[in-house]
Copies of this chain bind each other. A is one copy, B any other.
Amino acid sequence: MEIEEEILDFINNGHKDHFTDVTIDCVIFGYHELQLKVLIGKRFGVNGSSFPGGHIGRNETLTGAASRILKDRTSLNHIFLQQFHTFGDSMFRLKDFNNDLPQIAKDSLPADNWLFQRTFVVGFYALIDFSKVKIKKDFFFEQFAWLDINDIPPLLYDHNEMLDKALTALRNQIYHQPIGYNLLPEKFTLPEIIALYETILNKKLDRRNFPKKLMSLEIMIKLDEKRNIGQHRAPYLYKFDKEKYNKALKEGIILVF
C-alpha cells in the first residue's frame, strides 16, 4: 500500500496546525433491538484494535474537533456526544504508538516525529443506532466492526479501561440526563423504551415505576394512539417531548427508578 501525499504531509507537518500534546478518542456505542455494541477499529499494519480518534486543529474547539471526528467517521450530524474522561496516566504511550504506526510510515519517520509523542487523550462517547450508519475506513484503520460490549477482546493502549469508564459514564448519565432520542422510533411502545434502558443498564427495571417517572419528569408523553402488533395486541404509543427532553439534557434530572 502506498502512502498518499495527504497522509505523508500530515505525518511530516501535522504538528504545525494540530495540537501535539492532546488528542481525542471516541467510544461510539450502538444500540439496536436489545443489543448494545461498540465500534472497534482494526489498525492498519498492526496486530491490534482500538477506538477511532483524531487530532485537534489549532483553530478548533475541543468539542468542535470531537464532532468533526465523529462526523467524518459516521457521516452523522448532531449526535449527542459526551466528554467523559481525560486519560493521561499511561506513561508508555510513546512506545505503544510507535509500534502502532504502519511499517512504511515508520521507515520514513525520525523518532522525534510529533506522532510519537506521549499525549493526553480526551475521551468522548456517543450513542447511536448502529443499523443506520456506514462507517468510513481510512489510512489508519483497515476495518471496523460493531462488537457486543460483553465480548470485547484485549485492545491496544489503555482502551479496555477506556471502555469501562465510558460504559460507567453512560450508565450514570441515564440517571441524570434522558437518552433514547434517535434510538427509538418517533412513536414507541413502553416495552421498546424499557428494553433500551434495560439493555444499557444491564439490569431489570420496575415496569410500572419507570415509565411513571419519565412521565412525571414530562420527558415522555402518552399518545392517544395504539400500534397494532397482532390479534388482541395493541399497546399504547408514546413519544418524547422534544423541548422538555432538550431542557433535561441541558439542565440535568435526577431519575430514581
Contact = CB atoms under 8 A, between A and B. Distances in A.
Contacts of A157: none
A156 to B, nearest CB: 19
Contact of A120 (B22, B59, B87): B22
Contact of A86 (B21, B62, B176): B62
Contacts of A88: 22, 56, 61-63, 122
Contact of A252 (B63, B90, B168, B254): B168
B172 A62 contact: no
Contacts of A229: none
Interface residues of A, number: 29
A2 B86 CA distance: 37
Interface string A44-82: 000000000000101101111000000000000000000
Contact of A62 (B58, B89, B168): B89
Contacts of A176: 172, 175
Contacts of A62: 86-89, 120
Interface in A95-112: none
Given A19-B21, A120-B22, A122-B120, A86 B86 contact: yes
A1 interface: no
Contacts of A58: 118
Nearest to A203: B254
Chain A interface SS verdict (over half):
mixed
A85 interface: yes
Interface string A1-42: 000000000000000000111100000000000000000000
A207 to B, nearest CB: 17
Nearest to A87: B62
A63 B59 CA distance: 28
B86 A175 contact: no
A90 B60 CA distance: 10
A252 B21 CA distance: 31
Nearest to A89: B61
A161 B175 CA distance: 22
A83 interface: yes
A120 B83 CA distance: 13
A46 to B, nearest CB: 25
Nearest to A59: B91
4 A-B pairs with the lowest CB-CB distances in the bound complex, closest first: A62-B88, A21-B21, A61-B89, A86-B86
30 contacts: A19-B120, A21-B21, A21-B22, A21-B120, A22-B22, A56-B88, A58-B118, A59-B91, A61-B89, A61-B90, A62-B86, A62-B87, A62-B88, A62-B120, A63-B88, A63-B89, A64-B89, A83-B85, A83-B86, A86-B86, A86-B122, A120-B120, A120-B122, A168-B252, A172-B176, A172-B252, A175-B175, A175-B176, A175-B254, A256-B256
